[in-house]
Amino acid sequence: MTGQTFDVRNKLDYDKNTELLAQGIMQIAADPKLRPTIAELSRITGIHRNTIRQRDFPLERLKAIKENRRIAVIAQRVKAETKQDPKTVLMQRLEKSRLEVLYWFNRYQESESSCATLGRRLTTVRESRDYYVQLAGELRQKIKEQDTEILKLRDALDLVSANLEELK
């Protein structure tokens, strides 16, 4: 009699768990926010993961839910792509290319402006350099003239000193 009691109790537990698993799988299938995993099913039903793994139908159903969701995502992408008519796609591409051309045209204008500004600065620097090179040459010439003048004055001073020595 005891063996039959356990068999009856096990059968009731098995049926109860089967019903809980079926409800959990339906809940996962209905809510895309719930992940179709054994861990999620275990959390929803309160049945241990190892108990779920020992049965085939929950695993097969979770795989089917995963596959259905993948197919739905792909179908949605295809549907979104096919909704657009070729004219709209071409108009979008044309607009993108216009924006690209406008961007590069603006970059070209900026570089032209920068080049012109740098050219003017280079001309100014060259003129300034030429002016200061000329000024330095003139000052060197003045220095040479003054050195010559100093030598003449020293010679004259030496001559005057020599004459003063002779007079003494």
CA 72-74-78 angle, to 5 degrees, is 115
pLDDT at 142: 97
pLDDT at 101: 95
pLDDT at 129: 96
Question: Chain-wide mean pLDDT for the chain?
Answer: 90
CA 75-79-84 angle, to 5 degrees, is 160
For 79-143, the DSSP string reads: HHHHHS-HHHHHHHHHHHHHHHHHHHHHHHHHHHHHHHHHHHHHHHHHHHHHHHHHHHHHHHHHH
Residue 36, C-beta contacts closer than 8 angstroms, at least 6 positions apart? 28, 29, 62, 63, 65, 66, 69
Residue 44, C-beta contacts closer than 8 angstroms, at least 6 positions apart? 24, 27, 28, 34
> Collapsing DSSP states into helix, strand and coil, what is residue 66?
helix
**For 25-79, how does the pLDDT look when each residue is reduced to its tens digit (9 = 90+)?**
999 999 989 999 999 999 999 999 998 999 888 999 999 999 999 988 888 887 7
pTM for the model stands at: 0.46
Q: Over the range 102-141, which residues count as b (16 or more CB within 10 Å of their CB) and which as e?
A: eeeeeeeeeeeeeeeeeeeeeeeeeeeeeeeeeeeeeeee
Among residues 41, 37, 43, 35, the alpha carbon closest in space to that of 22 is found at 41
Q: Using 50, 70 and 90 to split pLDDT, how confident is the model at 5?
A: confident
pLDDT > 60? residue 1: no
Distances (CA, A) of 140 to 56, 92, 130, 135, 136: 105, 71, 15, 9, 6
The pair of three-digit structure tokens given for residue 10, joined into one six-digit string: 């096990």
Q: Using 50, 70 and 90 to split pLDDT, how confident is the model at 81?
A: low
As a residue count, the chain comes to 168
pLDDT at 82: 66
For range 134-157, the mean pLDDT: 96
- Report the alpha-carbon distance of residue 55 to residue 12 in Å, rounded: 16
